[in-house]
């Protein structure tokens, strides 16, 4: 007995939209002879018109992802020295206020009385 061929549907949104665009284009080319005309829900005649805008939104989302990555990288470059200054400030203020660490709260630090839990050593 012959194997039944597998026809995969892409899980990747861009690939799925590209396949949908191909199906819609072929449907339009065949016009009145398209075998997809018998489909009621979804109907390629109306649904197909949504594929191009969805592809544009997919591209816009990818562009925004790239822009977001760039923004995070720029932020991180600025964050490193800021983090160092915050730690150094904490350490200096702890030295100045060793008898009253709660004073660090005046600078915006959150001061807790509990001891930090010990971190497990890696095996």
8 Å CB contact between 58 and 19: no
The pLDDT assigned to 106 comes to: 94
pLDDT 10s digits, 107-120? 999 999 877 677 77
Q: Please tell me the pTM assigned to this model.
A: 0.63
Helix, strand, coil percentages, rounded to 5, for the chain: 70, 0, 30
**How far is it, in rounded angstroms, from Cα 60 to Cα 52?**
12
Q: What is the mean pLDDT of residues 90-99?
A: 94
Rounded to whole angstroms, what are the CA distances from 5 to 19, 26, 30, 36, 90? 18, 21, 24, 20, 66
Percent above pLDDT 70 for the chain? 96
pLDDT tens digits for range 24-55: 999 999 999 999 999 987 889 889 999 999 99
What is the C-alpha to C-alpha distance for residues 46 and 37, in angstroms, rounded to an integer? 11
Read off the pLDDT band of 1 (50, 70, 90).
low
Tokens 């964050």 correspond to 79
């Amino acid at each position: 007995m012959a194997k039944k061929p597998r026809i995969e549907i892409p899980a990747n949104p861009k690939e799925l939209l590209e396949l949908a665009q191909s199906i819609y284009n072929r449907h339009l080319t065949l016009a009145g002879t398209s075998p997809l005309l018998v489909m009621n829900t979804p109907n390629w005649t109306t649904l197909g018109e949504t594929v191009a805008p969805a592809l544009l939104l997919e591209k816009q989302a990818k562009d925004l992802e790239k822009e977001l990555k760039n923004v995070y990288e720029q932020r991180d470059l600025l964050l490193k020295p800021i983090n160092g200054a915050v730690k150094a400030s904490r350490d200096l203020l702890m030295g100045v206020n060793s008898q009253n660490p709660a004073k660090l709260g005046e600078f915006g630090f959150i001061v807790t009385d509990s001891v930090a839990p010990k971190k497990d050593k890696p095996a």
